[in-house]
Amino acid sequence: MPPIRSSRIPSVLVCAAAALTLSGCAVPVSPGFLDDRPTAQEEEWGDPSDMDTSGLEHGKIPSREPELDEADLPVADPPSDAPLTERIAWEALRDVSAFARAADPDSESECIDTTSELDGDSISLDCTVTYRGKEFDYNYGQRPDGTAPEPVYTAPLLRSVVENDLRFSQDTDYVNCDMEEMEAVPTSAASEAPGYRCVYLNPNTGDQERVEARAYGNGSLSFRPEE
């Protein structure tokens, strides 16, 4: 009589058959297997501990670009029949804060009428905006026909805003910009002013990338790779 041979069906096939009969089947899993699986971020970027974040500041990625909310200004827009110096003082405060893209609750603004006989029917106002304890000049002029050219003024560029803008544009937590906490920028020639060197952690490669941050007359920023 030929020897009786036992039939051993692989556990995978048993599970498949069990699934068809709705009886279920449990496949043994080695301890710690599920805990050792990489997260979605680790699969895409690699282990965060392997990334070089030296010299970079960690911060939360904002949901949108930084911008001024006029409701946060310390004073309200004066009525249309208010004195011109009062109305322009508010505009100066708004413009300087809009360039900074952040309100200062302690900011102040004052305008002085410097119109002289040589100006004829024109109007000249010299204003001073105090923002975060520093004074910024704001010069306003009005032609005889009531029209006004763009005011000439200096405004603050905040390091925190530049870095948060970079975080938003590059979708990264880690950045650093080589600049003072607050820089004074002449808005009429902002694009011609020297740029600021910034570094950020590329979330896709884990490498540190260098860019130049440059401000424009309305406070908007651009980031260009260093040449």
Question: Domain 70-153 classified CATH 2.40.370?
Answer: no
Name which of 34-48, 146-160, 195-209 the model is least confident about.
Answer: 34-48
The C-alpha atoms of residue 131 and residue 157 are separated, in whole angstroms, by 11
pLDDT tens for 39-69 read 334 445 555 557 889 899 999 999 999 999 9
Q: Which two tokens stand for residue 201?
A: 């952690």
pLDDT tens digits for 88-133?
999 999 999 999 999 999 999 999 999 987 778 899 999 999 999 9
pLDDT in tens, 193-205: 778 999 999 999 9
Return the domain boundaries, the chain: 45-64+158-225, 70-153
Put simply, whether the predicted model's pTM sits higher than 0.85 gets the answer no
